[in-house]
Structure 1
Amino acid sequence: MQLLGTAVLFMAATGSVKAQSSPDFTFGVKSGINLSTLANGLIDMSDRKGKAGFNAGIFARVGSKIYFQPELNYITFSNEYTFNSKTYTPKFKDLNVPLMVGYRIIDKGDLILRASAGPDLYYNLKDQVSPVDSKYKRTSVGGVLNVGIDLGKFTIDTRNSIGFTKLNKDFGQKPNIFSLSVGYKFL
């Protein structure tokens, strides 16, 4: 939780300084859908199905051709799988903090095509019970690859977030989340 607090303070401090001193600062809101799977190391787990989820958050973008984009998002995702003839459907509600470095591939005023990547930090807000009563971890780390387009004040982003750490010590589950979101830039 300390990490999330630090990230939020960093976004606020960076935003207030850059908004006053540079035109290369953007702040906005975004929302969209997620499709997820939980990759695992168990052969006994079958019938895995990703479920649709939701994301909403805020973002800041600092820089021009090369930029830094921290975000704070609330995301939901779930998965369904069968283990020992029993079906499980863990539903995750997380705070998500991607810290991306990006590059503007095309910058034609109101039309910007960009790509970014970086670490992705998660804090699970809801306890989940998995098979054999092994709990899911509260925090996890991953990486995110993002491609987006800005059309004036509107943004459209697609991203893939790949889990690096296991969500559950007994099953080796790692999240893989594909997201599509639309946003609006206030600055």
Structure 2
Amino acid sequence: MKKLILGLAITGSFLATAQEKTKSASPVTFGVKAGFNASTLSKADQYDNDQKLKPGFNAGIFAHIPVAEKFSIQPELLFSQLGSKTEEREVYYINSDRYSRDLDYKKTLNYLTLPVMVQYNILPQLYVEAGPEFGLLLGGKNKGDITVARNSGNTTTTETTTFSEDIVKDLHNKFNFGIGIGAGYYFTQNFGVTARFTAGITDIYKHNSGDAIRNNAFQVGVAYKFN
């Protein structure tokens, strides 16, 4: 009986130790995430316009890889909508007639992105992050309205044209590179909220004689880790 009790005690101790080692090893976990993008393009000097944040979304999967007690690496694979919303206002004269031209349009760029974030846990549930983001351009669309108003004497005529067209991919760089910084908070072991700003480094156009035009985006969303 004593040998049996001693054997059970040793076995229990071994199992407890093994369980503790498994917990401390913090194995790789996988998850899904989705969120809202507020994006814009860096403003080049040759464009006299007013850019606004364009809404979009991102969604995809990630792997959470612990590398030290408080450090981890999180590669992600996301579909992400970037681009900008632009409002141009122009007034010009032809002879004695006054013309005003208003252009409101959205440029949407769809990317398959691969962010690789290095995360540091300030608290067990709170982290900050930074790292590169690599993007592959899938396509996009330019969509908007052009309104021209002509004022001739006491008469005003207005004409509005709506357009929607796919971007010319040959004019755009296929690959995009940026740097992201952000933070996140997990309310439970599985569910958390995230926030990130990504600043573009590369020009979105292949042949741009002026200042480089880059993607910039602020992202907020939710993440879920699988056990």
TM-score tier, shorter chain, comes to: 0.7 to 0.9
2:100 matches 1:80 = no
CA RMSD of aligned residues (A): 2.5
**Which of residues 97, 119, 130 is equivalent to 1:117?**
130
Distance in 2 between residues matched to 1:157 and 1:174, nearest whole Å: 23
Distance in 1 between residues matched to 2:200 and 2:48, nearest whole Å: 18
List alignment gaps of at least 5 residues for structure 1. Answer: 1-18
CA displacement at 1:135 relative to structure 2:
2.0
CA displacement at 1:23 relative to structure 2:
2.6
**Which of residues 59, 69, 75 is equivalent to 2:62?**
59
Instruction: Give the match for residue 92 of structure 1.
Output: 109
**Which of residues 132, 151, 163 is equivalent to 2:200?**
163
2:184 matches 1:148 = yes
Judge which range, 119-128 or 154-163, deviates more. 119-128
Distance in 2 between residues matched to 1:140 and 1:40, nearest whole Å: 17
Structure 1 consecutive aligned stretches of length 4 or more whose deviation exceeds 4 Å: 83-88, 127-130
- Distance change (3 Å), C-alpha of 1:179 and 1:127: closer
Judge which range, 37-46 or 112-121, deviates more. 37-46
Judge which range, 157-166 or 78-87, deviates more. 78-87
- Distance change (3 Å), C-alpha of 1:83 and 1:142: farther
- Work out whether residues 127 and 135 of structure 1, in 8 Å CA contact, stay in contact via their aligned partners in 2: no
Instruction: Give the match for residue 4 of structure 1.
Output: none
Distance in 2 between residues matched to 1:165 and 1:83, nearest whole Å: 28
% of aligned pairs identical?
Answer: 31
Distance in 2 between residues matched to 1:26 and 1:113, nearest whole Å: 17
- Distance change (3 Å), C-alpha of 1:128 and 1:52: closer
The normalised TM-score by structure 1 is: 0.77
Which structure has the larger Rg?
A: 2
CA displacement at 1:137 relative to structure 2:
1.4
- Work out whether residues 74 and 118 of structure 2, in 8 Å CA contact, stay in contact via their aligned partners in 1: yes
- Work out whether residues 127 and 136 of structure 1, in 8 Å CA contact, stay in contact via their aligned partners in 2: no
Instruction: Give the match for residue 95 of structure 2.
Output: none
How many pairs are equivalent? 162
CA displacement at 1:60 relative to structure 2:
0.9
CA displacement at 1:151 relative to structure 2:
1.7
Distance in 1 between residues matched to 2:77 and 2:47, nearest whole Å: 36
